[in-house]
């Protein structure tokens, strides 16, 4: 009877297709130690898990399987972004895009065009400007925006998300005037709202509807898959965003694997402990993300010594040591992993101190995360590994911030800035990402920056503080295994090994044999998740892009 039942069950759940062998590929992945491993074929089972990773020396597997010829193309594990803002990416694709504005006038022109094209928008929301790239080198003001749009509210977020400029209509809607005092940890200047003052204006913006959140998630997945991203550490996730992710999972619309970090303690009443992995390892509420300081661009990063280009300030300390400890301990006591944004050397030292105490209480296997870890005093870096602290860093921040960091910090404080190789040598774990939509989610410029310390144009020659360069294997490790480890997912994805998901990409060049500028321009031809192709470039586009 049991045998019959078993046979019947097996028959009913019989696979839609047998095992699949993808052969004739230039397979490349990183070992856990950051060495490059080569393979030429991948055998997947009917559920989309890796069965065997084969190199030339291996005999071909026996039995029935579907064969796919890889035509010698390069195959990499799906890339994982340890730190991104998933719905933020979707919304930024739907809202006024100000990335790359070359001047204040350019911003005004884009605002004028967007306002004309979207007469139905009750609020105009934009993001991505960076005054450091403008000849004016000054922050935009409410008056600047009023000169273009005065009939409805306009709010435009800076590229780093730590400052926002509002027009007079938006300030009026928020009940804020020129005399409103800024909250502690924040600043208001001529319509510019910085860090803790953002809340004053942000709360007036009408929240996105459920349908808009669903659209943003769908848009974000589309963008991520096209860049070969198959997993993300979803940072500062709101309840609305989490609900959109759950809806997508229920409706089988979730493709990218999301390791979710809640926005501070705001979700604690709804999601009081980490969830299990849901929807075939597509979604898990993993942790809670806090902020210890602001960002370098708006001089919100909390430094041990004053800013070199503004000696009156050391940036913004968000919490006292005791308060930071209380927040992180609250999250940890609920079983959550803790991830804390820290950019300045003072913020990093504070968070390390908090984690050292929590590591004694809960153990280092809690995998305490510091997000960004941009500026550290070199003496603090060896404190990471003993407490089990992971440095979750973004290589393209280094190339974007280089000139600004030199101004803000002066020459003497750069030794512990964006110090990837020093972090690895200290024995600490490194996870890479992009912080999209602050930077593009495209991981290839990140990989290229990691091995060269140069931007897309090869600047500066020889690389910026070149001793912090990584090997390609180390960089790929941090963008795959390292990012999965940082989200407690390394048993499920992050490398192609028997039992793990067959998440992989096919790309148009061999990243180990091209120069960094070519690596940065790598095109993803196909993205596969759980053994299924979920994205491929239009056939007409790929031959043109190839060989560039
Ligand atoms: Zn972020």
% of the chain exceeding 70 in pLDDT:
95
> Which pLDDT score is estimated for 548?
28
State the Cα angle at 499 between 34 and 227, rounded to 5°. 55
Cα distance between residue 531 and residue 379, in whole Å = 45
Cα 47 to ligand 1 centroid, rounded to whole Å: 34
Residue 282 has, within 13 A of its CA and on its CB side, a CA count of: 18
Cα 192 to ligand 1 centroid, rounded to whole Å: 20
Cis peptide before 437 (omega within 30 of 0): yes
Mean pLDDT over all residues of the chain?
93
Cα 164 to ligand 1 centroid, rounded to whole Å: 16
Cα 207 to ligand 1 centroid, rounded to whole Å: 20
pLDDT higher than 60, residue 141: yes
Cα 84 to ligand 1 centroid, rounded to whole Å: 6
pLDDT tens digits, 147-199: 999 999 999 999 888 899 999 999 999 999 878 999 998 999 999 999 999 99
Cα 394 to ligand 1 centroid, rounded to whole Å: 10
Cα 88 to ligand 1 centroid, rounded to whole Å: 10
Cα distance between residue 259 and residue 369, in whole Å = 13
> Which pLDDT score is estimated for 543?
37
pLDDT higher than 90, residue 62: no
Cα 374 to ligand 1 centroid, rounded to whole Å: 12
> Which pLDDT score is estimated for 161?
86
Mean pLDDT, residues 63-86 taken together: 95
Band (541; pLDDT cuts 50, 70, 90): very low
Cα 9 to ligand 1 centroid, rounded to whole Å: 46
Cα 85 to ligand 1 centroid, rounded to whole Å: 6
Cα 82 to ligand 1 centroid, rounded to whole Å: 10
Band (20; pLDDT cuts 50, 70, 90): very high
Cα 439 to ligand 1 centroid, rounded to whole Å: 10
pLDDT higher than 70, residue 539: no
pLDDT higher than 60, residue 6: no
> Which pLDDT score is estimated for 545?
35
Cα 89 to ligand 1 centroid, rounded to whole Å: 11
Give the torsion through C-alpha atoms of 518, 520, 521, 522, to 10 deg.
Answer: 90
Cα 493 to ligand 1 centroid, rounded to whole Å: 22
Cα 56 to ligand 1 centroid, rounded to whole Å: 42
pLDDT tens digits, 340-361: 999 999 999 999 999 999 999 9
Cα 83 to ligand 1 centroid, rounded to whole Å: 6
pLDDT higher than 90, residue 42: yes
> Which pLDDT score is estimated for 18?
84
State the Cα angle at 83 between 486 and 244, rounded to 5°. 105
Cα 421 to ligand 1 centroid, rounded to whole Å: 22
pLDDT higher than 60, residue 46: yes
Cα 292 to ligand 1 centroid, rounded to whole Å: 12
Cα distance between residue 14 and residue 509, in whole Å = 37
pLDDT tens digits, 404-436: 999 999 998 999 999 999 999 999 999 999 999
Mean pLDDT, residues 396-400 taken together: 94
Cα 403 to ligand 1 centroid, rounded to whole Å: 21
Least confident of 23-27, 90-94, 459-463: 90-94
pLDDT tens digits, 118-133: 898 889 999 999 999 9
Cα 72 to ligand 1 centroid, rounded to whole Å: 37
pLDDT higher than 80, residue 291: yes
Q: Collapsing DSSP states into helix, strand and coil, what is residue 518? A: helix
Cα distance between residue 332 and residue 358, in whole Å = 8
Neighbour order of strands in the sheet with 154-158: 96-97, 124-129, 154-158, 163-166, 192-195, 186-189
pLDDT tens digits, 228-270: 999 999 999 999 999 999 999 999 999 999 999 999 999 999 9
Neighbours of ion ligand 1 (CB under 5 A): 235, 435
**DSSP structure class, residue 180:** P
Cα 341 to ligand 1 centroid, rounded to whole Å: 8
Cα distance between residue 484 and residue 491, in whole Å = 9
pLDDT tens digits, 456-472: 999 999 999 999 999 99
pLDDT higher than 60, residue 544: no
Cα 437 to ligand 1 centroid, rounded to whole Å: 8
Cα 468 to ligand 1 centroid, rounded to whole Å: 22
The packing angle between helices 86-94 and 239-250, to 10°, is 90
Maximum alpha-carbon separation in the chain: 82
> Which pLDDT score is estimated for 16?
53
Cα distance between residue 74 and residue 64, in whole Å = 25
Mean pLDDT, residues 50-59 taken together: 89
Cα 289 to ligand 1 centroid, rounded to whole Å: 10
**pTM for this predicted structure:** 0.87
Least confident of 33-47, 53-67, 235-249, 330-344: 53-67
Cα 2 to ligand 1 centroid, rounded to whole Å: 53
Q: Collapsing DSSP states into helix, strand and coil, what is residue 86? A: helix
């Amino acid at each position: 009877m049991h045998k019959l039942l078993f046979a019947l069950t097996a028959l009913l759940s019989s696979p839609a297709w047998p095992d699949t062998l993808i052969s004739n590929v230039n397979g490349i992945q990183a070992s856990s130690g950051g060495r490059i491993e080569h393979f030429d074929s991948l055998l997947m089972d009917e559920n989309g898990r890796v069965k065997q990773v084969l190199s030339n020396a291996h005999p071909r597997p026996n039995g029935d399987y579907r064969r796919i010829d890889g035509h010698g193309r390069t195959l990499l594990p799906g890339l994982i972004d340890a730190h991104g803002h998933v719905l933020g990416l979707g919304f930024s694709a739907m809202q006024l895009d100000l990335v790359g504005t070359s001047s204040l006038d350019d911003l005004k022109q884009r605002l004028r065009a967007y306002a004309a094209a979207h007469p139905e928008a009750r609020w105009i929301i934009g993001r991505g400007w960076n005054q450091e790239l403008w000849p004016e080198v000054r922050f935009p003001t409410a008056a600047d925006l009023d000169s273009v749009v005065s009939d409805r509210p306009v709010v435009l977020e800076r590229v780093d998300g730590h400052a926002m400029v509002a027009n007079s209509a938006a300030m009026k809607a928020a009940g804020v005037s020129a005399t409103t005092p800024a909250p502690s940890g924040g600043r208001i200047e001529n319509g510019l709202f910085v860090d803790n003052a953002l809340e004053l204006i942000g709360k007036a913006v009408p929240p996105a509807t459920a349908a808009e959140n669903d659209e943003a998630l769908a848009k974000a997945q589309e963008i991520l898959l096209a860049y070969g991203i198959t997993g993300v550490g979803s940072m500062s996730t709101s309840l609305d965003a989490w609900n959109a992710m759950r809806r997508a999972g229920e409706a089988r619309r979730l493709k990218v694997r999301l390791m979710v970090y809640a926005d501070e303690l705001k979700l604690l009443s709804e999601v009081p402990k980490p969830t299990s992995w849901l929807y075939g390892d597509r979604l898990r509420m993993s942790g809670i993300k806090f902020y210890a300081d602001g960002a370098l661009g708006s001089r919100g990063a909390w430094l041990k010594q004053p800013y070199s280009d503004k000696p009156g300030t050391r940036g913004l300390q968000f919490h006292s040591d005791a308060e930071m400890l209380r927040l992180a301990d609250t999250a940890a006591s609920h079983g959550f992993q803790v991830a804390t944004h820290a950019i300045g050397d003072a913020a990093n030292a504070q968070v390390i101190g908090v984690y050292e105490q929590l590591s004694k209480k809960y153990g280092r296997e809690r995998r305490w995360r510091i997000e960004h870890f941009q500026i550290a005093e070199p003496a603090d870096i060896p404190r990471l590994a003993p407490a089990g602290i992971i440095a979750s860093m973004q290589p393209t921040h280094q190339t974007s911030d280089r000139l600004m960091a030199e101004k803000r910090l002066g020459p003497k404080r750069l030794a512990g800035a964006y110090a990837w190789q020093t972090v690895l040598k200290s024995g600490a774990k490194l996870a890479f990402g992009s912080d999209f939509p602050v930077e593009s989610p495209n991981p290839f410029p990140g990989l290229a920056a990691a091995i060269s310390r140069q931007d897309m144009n090869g600047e500066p020659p020889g690389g910026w503080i070149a001793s912090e360069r990584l090997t390609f294997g180390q960089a790929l490790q941090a963008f795959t295994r390292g990012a999965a480890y940082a989200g407690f997912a390394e048993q499920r994805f992050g490398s192609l090994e028997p039992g793990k998901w067959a998440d992989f990409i096919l790309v148009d060049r061999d990243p180990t044999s091209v120069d960094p500028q070519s690596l940065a321009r790598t095109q993803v031809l196909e993205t596969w998740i759980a053994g299924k192709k979920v994205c491929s470039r239009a056939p007409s586009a790929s031959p043109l892009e190839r060989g560039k």
